[in-house]
Amino acid sequence: KDELLLKSEKLSIAGQLAAGVAHEIRNPLTALKGFVQLMGRGCGSADLYLRIMAEELERIESIISELLMLAKPQALRMKDCDLGTLVQEVVLLLGTQASLQNIEIDLQRPAGSGPWIRGNSNQIKQVFINLLKNAMEAMPRGGVIRVGVEETGETDAAPLSLVRIIDQGGGIAEEQLRVLGEPFYSTKEAGTGLGLMVSHKIVEHHGGSIRITSEMGVGTSIEVVLPAAAGA
Ligand code: ADP
Ligand code: MG
Protein backbone atom coordinates (compact mmCIF):
# COMPACT_ATOMS: atom_id res chain seq x y z
CA LYS A 1 0.00 0.00 0.00
CA ASP A 2 2.69 2.44 1.03
CA GLU A 3 4.68 1.68 -2.05
CA LEU A 4 1.73 2.31 -4.33
CA LEU A 5 1.11 5.67 -2.71
CA LEU A 6 4.73 6.62 -3.12
CA LYS A 7 4.71 5.69 -6.78
CA SER A 8 1.56 7.58 -7.67
CA GLU A 9 2.89 10.61 -5.84
CA LYS A 10 6.09 10.41 -7.83
CA LEU A 11 4.11 10.11 -11.04
CA SER A 12 2.18 13.26 -10.34
CA ILE A 13 5.39 15.13 -9.57
CA ALA A 14 6.84 13.87 -12.86
CA GLY A 15 3.66 15.00 -14.60
CA GLN A 16 3.85 18.46 -13.08
CA LEU A 17 7.48 18.78 -14.05
CA ALA A 18 6.77 17.60 -17.59
CA ALA A 19 3.97 20.15 -17.94
CA GLY A 20 6.27 22.86 -16.64
CA VAL A 21 9.09 21.90 -19.00
CA ALA A 22 6.75 21.76 -21.98
CA HIS A 23 5.38 25.18 -21.14
CA GLU A 24 8.78 26.78 -20.53
CA ILE A 25 10.24 25.45 -23.76
CA ARG A 26 7.19 26.21 -25.86
CA ASN A 27 7.51 29.96 -25.25
CA PRO A 28 10.96 30.36 -26.80
CA LEU A 29 10.04 27.84 -29.52
CA THR A 30 6.97 29.86 -30.49
CA ALA A 31 9.11 32.97 -30.69
CA LEU A 32 11.71 31.17 -32.82
CA LYS A 33 9.01 29.90 -35.19
CA GLY A 34 7.60 33.40 -35.60
CA PHE A 35 10.97 34.90 -36.45
CA VAL A 36 11.79 32.11 -38.90
CA GLN A 37 8.50 32.88 -40.70
CA LEU A 38 9.20 36.62 -40.73
CA MET A 39 12.67 36.07 -42.11
CA GLY A 40 11.27 33.68 -44.70
CA ARG A 41 9.07 36.49 -45.98
CA GLY A 42 12.10 38.74 -46.05
CA CYS A 43 10.54 41.38 -43.87
CA GLY A 44 12.03 43.29 -40.94
CA SER A 45 15.60 43.42 -39.72
CA ALA A 46 17.39 40.10 -40.03
CA ASP A 47 20.14 41.26 -37.63
CA LEU A 48 17.67 41.95 -34.85
CA TYR A 49 15.76 38.71 -35.49
CA LEU A 50 18.96 36.68 -35.38
CA ARG A 51 19.96 38.25 -32.10
CA ILE A 52 16.60 37.49 -30.49
CA MET A 53 16.63 33.98 -31.92
CA ALA A 54 20.09 33.34 -30.46
CA GLU A 55 18.81 34.50 -27.06
CA GLU A 56 15.79 32.21 -27.24
CA LEU A 57 17.97 29.26 -28.25
CA GLU A 58 20.25 29.99 -25.31
CA ARG A 59 17.24 29.98 -23.03
CA ILE A 60 16.16 26.55 -24.23
CA GLU A 61 19.73 25.35 -23.81
CA SER A 62 19.98 26.53 -20.20
CA ILE A 63 16.61 24.97 -19.31
CA ILE A 64 17.74 21.65 -20.77
CA SER A 65 21.15 21.66 -19.08
CA GLU A 66 19.63 22.50 -15.69
CA LEU A 67 17.09 19.72 -16.08
CA LEU A 68 19.86 17.28 -16.95
CA MET A 69 21.44 18.06 -13.58
CA LEU A 70 18.28 16.66 -12.02
CA ALA A 71 18.41 13.49 -14.07
CA LYS A 72 22.00 12.59 -13.20
CA PRO A 73 22.24 12.04 -9.41
CA GLN A 74 21.61 8.28 -9.53
CA ALA A 75 24.77 7.59 -11.50
CA LEU A 76 27.03 9.94 -9.57
CA ARG A 77 30.56 9.20 -8.51
CA MET A 78 31.12 10.34 -4.95
CA LYS A 79 34.52 10.89 -3.38
CA ASP A 80 36.06 12.83 -0.53
CA CYS A 81 36.53 16.45 -1.50
CA ASP A 82 37.77 19.59 0.16
CA LEU A 83 34.74 21.88 0.44
CA GLY A 84 36.85 24.97 1.13
CA THR A 85 38.79 24.46 -2.09
CA LEU A 86 35.62 23.77 -4.12
CA VAL A 87 34.04 27.00 -2.91
CA GLN A 88 37.26 28.90 -3.62
CA GLU A 89 37.32 27.56 -7.18
CA VAL A 90 33.77 28.76 -7.75
CA VAL A 91 34.61 32.19 -6.31
CA LEU A 92 37.56 32.43 -8.73
CA LEU A 93 35.36 31.28 -11.60
CA LEU A 94 32.82 34.03 -10.96
CA GLY A 95 35.38 36.65 -9.93
CA THR A 96 35.72 38.44 -13.27
CA GLN A 97 31.97 38.70 -13.77
CA ALA A 98 31.59 39.91 -10.19
CA SER A 99 34.14 42.72 -10.49
CA LEU A 100 32.52 43.84 -13.75
CA GLN A 101 29.35 44.29 -11.68
CA ASN A 102 31.21 46.09 -8.88
CA ILE A 103 30.74 43.12 -6.60
CA GLU A 104 33.39 41.87 -4.22
CA ILE A 105 33.14 38.25 -3.13
CA ASP A 106 34.75 38.06 0.29
CA LEU A 107 35.64 34.44 1.05
CA GLN A 108 36.54 33.35 4.57
CA ARG A 109 37.72 29.78 4.77
CA PRO A 110 39.62 27.88 7.41
CA ALA A 111 43.39 27.87 7.05
CA GLY A 112 44.80 24.78 5.35
CA SER A 113 42.45 22.24 3.83
CA GLY A 114 38.92 21.17 4.60
CA PRO A 115 36.30 20.80 5.75
CA TRP A 116 36.02 17.49 3.93
CA ILE A 117 32.78 16.20 2.52
CA ARG A 118 31.88 13.15 0.51
CA GLY A 119 30.30 14.10 -2.76
CA ASN A 120 30.43 14.79 -6.44
CA SER A 121 32.62 17.84 -6.88
CA ASN A 122 31.02 18.99 -10.16
CA GLN A 123 27.55 18.94 -8.67
CA ILE A 124 28.61 20.61 -5.44
CA LYS A 125 30.30 23.32 -7.50
CA GLN A 126 27.12 23.74 -9.51
CA VAL A 127 25.23 24.42 -6.28
CA PHE A 128 27.57 27.25 -5.32
CA ILE A 129 27.58 28.63 -8.86
CA ASN A 130 23.77 28.77 -8.75
CA LEU A 131 23.66 30.37 -5.31
CA LEU A 132 26.40 32.92 -5.98
CA LYS A 133 24.87 33.86 -9.33
CA ASN A 134 21.56 34.51 -7.59
CA ALA A 135 23.36 36.67 -5.03
CA MET A 136 25.10 38.62 -7.82
CA GLU A 137 21.87 39.03 -9.76
CA ALA A 138 20.24 40.42 -6.60
CA MET A 139 22.88 43.18 -6.43
CA PRO A 140 22.63 45.22 -9.65
CA ARG A 141 24.30 48.17 -7.95
CA GLY A 142 27.20 46.14 -6.61
CA GLY A 143 28.37 45.53 -3.05
CA VAL A 144 29.92 42.74 -1.05
CA ILE A 145 28.95 39.07 -0.92
CA ARG A 146 30.32 37.39 2.17
CA VAL A 147 31.05 33.68 1.85
CA GLY A 148 32.00 31.67 4.92
CA VAL A 149 33.09 28.05 5.08
CA GLU A 150 33.22 26.34 8.45
CA GLU A 151 32.98 23.06 10.25
CA THR A 152 30.55 22.69 13.10
CA GLY A 153 32.11 20.09 15.34
CA GLU A 154 29.36 19.29 17.82
CA THR A 155 30.55 16.65 20.23
CA ASP A 156 27.41 14.51 20.42
CA ALA A 157 26.41 14.84 16.77
CA ALA A 158 28.05 13.98 13.47
CA PRO A 159 30.30 16.82 12.27
CA LEU A 160 28.75 19.09 9.64
CA SER A 161 30.25 21.35 7.01
CA LEU A 162 28.62 24.68 6.49
CA VAL A 163 28.81 27.27 3.74
CA ARG A 164 27.10 30.60 4.31
CA ILE A 165 26.49 33.10 1.52
CA ILE A 166 25.34 36.54 2.61
CA ASP A 167 24.42 39.11 -0.03
CA GLN A 168 23.42 42.76 0.08
CA GLY A 169 20.60 42.38 -2.45
CA GLY A 170 17.01 43.51 -2.19
CA GLY A 171 15.96 40.43 -0.22
CA ILE A 172 13.09 38.01 -0.74
CA ALA A 173 9.55 38.80 0.39
CA GLU A 174 7.90 36.39 2.80
CA GLU A 175 5.28 35.17 0.33
CA GLN A 176 8.09 34.62 -2.21
CA LEU A 177 10.12 32.58 0.28
CA ARG A 178 7.31 30.05 0.49
CA VAL A 179 7.28 29.28 -3.24
CA LEU A 180 11.06 29.31 -3.59
CA GLY A 181 12.49 26.14 -5.04
CA GLU A 182 9.36 25.31 -6.98
CA PRO A 183 10.30 24.62 -10.58
CA PHE A 184 10.13 27.61 -12.95
CA TYR A 185 9.45 30.16 -10.23
CA SER A 186 11.47 33.18 -11.28
CA THR A 187 11.19 36.94 -10.85
CA LYS A 188 13.81 37.54 -13.56
CA GLU A 189 13.13 38.33 -17.17
CA ALA A 190 15.70 35.81 -18.37
CA GLY A 191 15.49 33.44 -15.39
CA THR A 192 14.82 29.73 -15.73
CA GLY A 193 13.52 29.34 -12.18
CA LEU A 194 15.42 26.06 -11.92
CA GLY A 195 18.60 27.04 -10.08
CA LEU A 196 17.29 26.72 -6.55
CA MET A 197 15.35 23.54 -7.24
CA VAL A 198 18.39 21.89 -8.84
CA SER A 199 20.63 23.06 -5.96
CA HIS A 200 18.19 21.73 -3.40
CA LYS A 201 17.99 18.35 -5.16
CA ILE A 202 21.77 18.04 -5.31
CA VAL A 203 22.29 18.99 -1.65
CA GLU A 204 19.49 16.66 -0.55
CA HIS A 205 21.13 13.85 -2.53
CA HIS A 206 24.31 14.51 -0.54
CA GLY A 207 22.42 14.20 2.75
CA GLY A 208 22.48 17.93 3.42
CA SER A 209 20.08 20.85 3.52
CA ILE A 210 19.72 24.47 2.43
CA ARG A 211 18.32 27.17 4.68
CA ILE A 212 17.34 30.59 3.39
CA THR A 213 16.73 33.67 5.52
CA SER A 214 16.08 37.06 4.05
CA GLU A 215 15.20 40.59 5.01
CA MET A 216 13.72 43.01 2.50
CA GLY A 217 16.10 45.86 1.72
CA VAL A 218 18.93 44.25 3.69
CA GLY A 219 19.85 41.05 1.91
CA THR A 220 19.67 37.29 1.88
CA SER A 221 21.61 34.65 3.74
CA ILE A 222 21.82 31.12 2.42
CA GLU A 223 23.27 28.28 4.46
CA VAL A 224 24.26 25.01 2.88
CA VAL A 225 24.87 22.25 5.40
CA LEU A 226 26.58 19.04 4.32
CA PRO A 227 27.64 16.02 6.35
CA ALA A 228 31.38 15.76 6.84
CA ALA A 229 33.20 12.92 5.10
CA ALA A 230 33.44 9.79 7.26
CA GLY A 231 36.68 9.81 9.21
CA ALA A 232 37.28 13.48 8.43
P1 ADP B 1 16.38 32.15 -11.49
O2 ADP B 1 17.66 32.66 -10.88
O3 ADP B 1 16.54 31.60 -12.86
O4 ADP B 1 15.26 33.16 -11.39
P5 ADP B 1 16.38 30.42 -9.17
O6 ADP B 1 15.72 29.12 -8.89
O7 ADP B 1 17.86 30.46 -9.08
O8 ADP B 1 15.90 30.89 -10.60
O9 ADP B 1 15.78 31.52 -8.19
C10 ADP B 1 14.38 31.69 -8.12
C11 ADP B 1 14.00 33.07 -7.60
O12 ADP B 1 14.39 33.19 -6.23
C13 ADP B 1 14.69 34.22 -8.30
O14 ADP B 1 14.03 34.58 -9.50
C15 ADP B 1 14.64 35.31 -7.24
O16 ADP B 1 13.39 35.95 -7.26
C17 ADP B 1 14.72 34.53 -5.94
N18 ADP B 1 16.08 34.55 -5.35
C19 ADP B 1 16.96 33.53 -5.29
N20 ADP B 1 18.11 33.88 -4.69
C21 ADP B 1 17.95 35.18 -4.31
C22 ADP B 1 18.80 36.15 -3.65
N23 ADP B 1 20.03 35.83 -3.21
N24 ADP B 1 18.28 37.40 -3.44
C25 ADP B 1 17.04 37.71 -3.87
N26 ADP B 1 16.21 36.86 -4.52
C27 ADP B 1 16.65 35.61 -4.75
MG1 MG C 1 19.28 31.45 -10.40
pLDDT 10s digits, 67-102: 777 766 556 788 999 999 999 999 998 998 999 999
Q: Which residue has a Cα nearest atom 7 of ligand 1?
A: 195
What pLDDT sits at residue 139?
Answer: 97
CB 194 within 8 A of CB 61: no
Residues having CB within 6 Å of any atom of ligand 1: 130, 134-135, 138, 167, 169, 172, 180, 185-188, 191-197, 220
In the predicted model, residues of the chain with pLDDT beneath 50 are 1
- Coarse DSSP helix, strand, coil percentages of the chain, rounded to the nearest 5 percent: 50, 20, 30
CB 195 within 8 A of CB 134: yes
Q: Which residue has a Cα nearest atom 26 of ligand 1?
A: 172
Cα–Cα separations (whole angstroms), residue 45 to 32, 50, 59, 122, 218: 15, 9, 21, 41, 44
76 CA distance to ligand 1 middle (Å)? 26
Cis preceding linkage at 159, omega within 30: no
pTM (two decimals): 0.80
What pLDDT sits at residue 214?
Answer: 95
What pLDDT sits at residue 218?
Answer: 96
**What is the H or E stretch that residue 151 is in?**
strand 143-152
